[in-house]
Structure 1
């Protein structure tokens, strides 16, 4: 979305908190993460534990009437919106615009030609029992009320060869209502365009971006941006397994019949000149973190709504995590207090220092690669009071972890942890307990966590029991 000389982007965050990440750019290429629009998910009790297929599904970010607006669908509760005068907030509390099951991928439109406001959304069969159709509503300009019962504006079942129509983005251009919407599924689908002189239809359709002879599978579910220089561009994602959904930028033009043409004659391009814009410094969302004052940066998200006491502030650098007492400590997929960020590149190395300060037998903390399967390396306090370096993993179908390598002593209770990720998200773990870096265990193949890919995670946990479980301190998180 463009506002003046600035571009903004948000994304699905599912059950992680804070949600709705907010990114800013001046050239559509160099992006920085400036915050989040959603502090915690509601209803709060339903997101006290990880729910990786729920929460914030595909959002739409718009600017109208002097405010930024984000609409998203929670497939179990309905369509919500928040708004703010400034992208950095403060953002309003979530407002439930339309209650119901399976309502997903909403997109609003404030039509400056008529003064009317509209909303279009898709359906999730897993909750609603139907899919492959788009529903449209007239909406109040304050985004708080729908003014009609809704109309099916596009029925994908009536379009030969189309299926899993979803992710609509609604625009007004050249006297037409436009819906840019993907179909065919995230792995192998395509990007469609629909247009009509009337909001309620009938719409004619065209495929405007497809994989063709390229390596960019399923290029779809994105948005159109017109720059201050008058250029048109299309941002979309590509499903990349453990790397999640990777964003691409495609050039866009209009043919003689007024239809959008994306990429190179409808196929994605991997290299292209940058959009016309003043020179910008190279930038990317933050990854490294010194944790100043015990605080973590905006690149981190909890796997569920956070609770007071999971971290402890202090005067220096380093993240002090509480070893939260839990009976699920041996399955990281069930823990709400894992602090995560996305895999930042196809190949990279992540490392962090760790001191286990807890004296509680069974207390543990470490660095994880987390998905439907997971692996982690870190420190654990034994029943004899000694601290050991441990490396464990679990397959997607396993209910508990097992050793990836034999434990070894960590007499000082401190370690420098490292994971090297190579092509295909193959992960090699290394640890230095004071005698130099030593590899640990076999290579671990990261797996996606539902739709978000694999995640890097930091955690601390302790067995159930009375009183404090102690703390663990992480220092100098770095990505190279």
Structure 2
């Protein structure tokens, strides 16, 4: 069986395109808090215990590339790389700013980049994604770790989501689903024809499958061709409660036979939802999907896949009903050799004044938010005004990353530099979601204070509440947040010497954002109607047990 890159013009716009981050490249970073590779030839699921939603994966030669949904966070469309399907690292983003830029300069929670697909065709990498409010976009490149071309609007319209292309001889197709919230219909899959370049849809499309009777909320289709069959892998039944459906037909427009191939069954793995079929060089098949773990996000699973009578069998049929179920531990894929254990980056020393590739802003980034001066060994974030915002929910200048495990501790060192003795400036360590909490250093009443702040129901415009505050001897503090399962309960503490930490405030139960997990990170903010100026220097950020 061949490689599954079958199928799966614009100019380079450096403002909108993202490129590799050479200053922040970390060789073989290994997390202290979660690693899938057990070092004995086996792996455990999830392979990534972080919010890697709607994964799609391809192989090109001996290299595997993944992209996932990034919604309103920027840069968007993270590109991850692996040599063995288990050990992954972040190497790039395909877009620096989400388009239309003027819309996403302000956080658009739950909107933006939905369910992308990555394909390789004629020596170029393509990513297609659906924006539920604007249509289907595409970016491409010859080097996934380099610059990607500016986005092209392939198909304009509302509610057109989850696209997947297929180059099939002289024909080029695009299958997609529908978001009922915008389109007024869902549970239907539609195929359009595109031009040969894959840059424009050229017909109105044809519906090829209706899931209303048995497969409600059918979405996320991935279109493949194998041994004369067209296959559509598509989840149904909802993110947290659904199953994985596979359709097949000898004709791309159907009629399609159907078979449920993966479900929760007797396991504790709810969902199993939306993913990608991939083959190794020796022809073995594997399947990626996610599990919705609420506040921790959509964590990534890798399942064995075999073929019986031209149907895929995913996972293991543990309860004997003929449908596969997710596995928790499995022998690693046979890729011909062993590769070092590595995980997506978490820690950051902010070398050369820059932040690492694991970070994303809450909205399209602005050069005004940070200094990033070469030769410095800290990240300087300017205290940007909240203006009319009641809290941080719609503040785009929050620098955040994914939660890496169920249990972990994160610590940072920050120095708040005040200009003109201006009060109302705060910088801190944040757990962000629909409600949020942080430990921060602020300047008030002519002194520096450390405080814990909680904002309950931030999504509804609630005000922040100071839970506790203590006076500091200087403008520098170490801030710590311990996160405990099962509910991502957060305990904050601080230290003035980096050794002796004192608890501050009360415990806080983290909450997810819309469609994404809670996220942790740092920020530097100014209250409205105070004099501009002041900045925070973050020395480092570390994740530990």
TM-score tier (shorter): over 0.9
Matched, 1:211 2:264: yes
Structure 1 unaligned regions, length at least 5 = none
Task: Select 1:464's aligned residue among 528, 531, 538.
Answer: 528
Q: Aligned-pair distance for 1:475?
A: 1.3
CA distance in 2, matches of 1:400, 1:357: 28
For residues 147-172 of structure 1, give each alpha carbon's deviation from its aligned partner in whole angstroms, at most 9, with x where no partner exists. 32100111112xx3210000011100
Task: Select 2:480's aligned residue among 418, 422, 446.
Answer: 418
**Larger relative contact order (Cα-Cα within 8 Å, sequence gap ≥ 6):** 2
Please name the residue that 2:159 is paired with.
102
For residues 97-129 of structure 1, give each alpha carbon's deviation from its aligned partner in whole angstroms, at most 9, with x where no partner exists. 000001110011112xx2321110111111111
* Equivalent residue runs for 1:313-352 within 5 Å: 313-314=372-373, 315-328=375-388, 331-352=391-412
CA distance in 2, matches of 1:467, 1:439: 32
Q: Aligned-pair distance for 1:466?
A: 7.2
Is the partner of 1:45 in helix, strand or coil?
Answer: helix
CA distance in 2, matches of 1:202, 1:331: 52
Please name the residue that 1:392 is paired with.
453
**Quick one: structure 1 residues 46 and 347, their matched pair in 2 at CA, closer, same or farther if it must change by over 3 Å?**
same
Task: Select 2:171's aligned residue among 116, 130, 135.
Answer: 116
CA distance in 2, matches of 1:418, 1:333: 22
Task: Select 1:238's aligned residue among 291, 296, 320.
Answer: 291
CA distance in 1, matches of 2:164, 2:418: 48
Q: Aligned-pair distance for 1:437?
A: 0.3
Task: Select 1:258's aligned residue among 286, 310, 315.
Answer: 310
Structure 2 unaligned regions, length at least 5 = 1-57, 318-323
Q: Aligned-pair distance for 1:467?
A: 5.8
CA distance in 2, matches of 1:190, 1:319: 44
- TM-score calculated relative to the size of structure 2: 0.85
Is the partner of 1:279 in helix, strand or coil?
Answer: coil
CA distance in 1, matches of 2:291, 2:161: 19
CA distance in 1, matches of 2:284, 2:542: 37
Task: Select 1:441's aligned residue among 482, 505, 508.
Answer: 505
Please name the residue that 2:320 is paired with.
none
Q: Aligned-pair distance for 1:404?
A: 5.3
* Equivalent residue runs for 1:181-330 within 5 Å: 181-255=234-308, 257-265=309-317, 266-277=324-335, 278-314=337-373, 315-328=375-388
| RMSD of equivalent CA atoms | 1.4
Please name the residue that 2:15 is paired with.
none
Please name the residue that 2:30 is paired with.
none
CA distance in 2, matches of 1:325, 1:403: 18
Task: Select 1:8's aligned residue among 65, 69, 77.
Answer: 65
Please name the residue that 1:409 is paired with.
471
Residue correspondences, number: 474
- Does the aligned pair in 2 maintain the 1:392–1:401 contact within 8 Å? no
